[in-house]
Structure 1
Amino acid sequence: MGIEWLKPGVFFGSLLYALLGVLVFWVCFVVIDKLTPYRLWDEIVEKQNVALAIVVGAMCIAIGLIVAAAVGG
Structure 2
Amino acid sequence: MDYFSAIKLTEIISTIFYTFLGAGLMFVIWKIMDRVTPFHLLEQVEKEQNLALAVLIGMVYLSLAIIIAAVILS
TM-score (norm 1): 0.87
* Residue-pair matches, total: 71
Q: Give RMSD over aligned pairs.
A: 1.2
Counterpart in the other structure of 2:24: 23
Structure 1 stretches lacking a partner, 5+ long: none
Quote the offset at 1:69 in angstroms: 1.0
Structure 2 stretches lacking a partner, 5+ long: none
Question: Could you tell me whether the CA contact under 8 Å between 1:25 and 1:67 is conserved in 2?
Answer: no
TM-score (norm 2): 0.86
Counterpart in the other structure of 1:38: 39
Quote the offset at 1:32 in angstroms: 1.1
Counterpart in the other structure of 2:51: 50
Where 1:66 maps in the other structure, the secondary structure is: helix
Query: For the pair shown, which has the larger CA radius of gyration, 1 or 2?
Result: 2
Identical counterparts, % of pairs: 25
Q: Distance in 2 between matches of 1:46 and 1:72?
A: 38
**Any runs of at least 4 consecutive aligned residues in structure 1 with deviations exceeding 4 A, and if so which?**
none
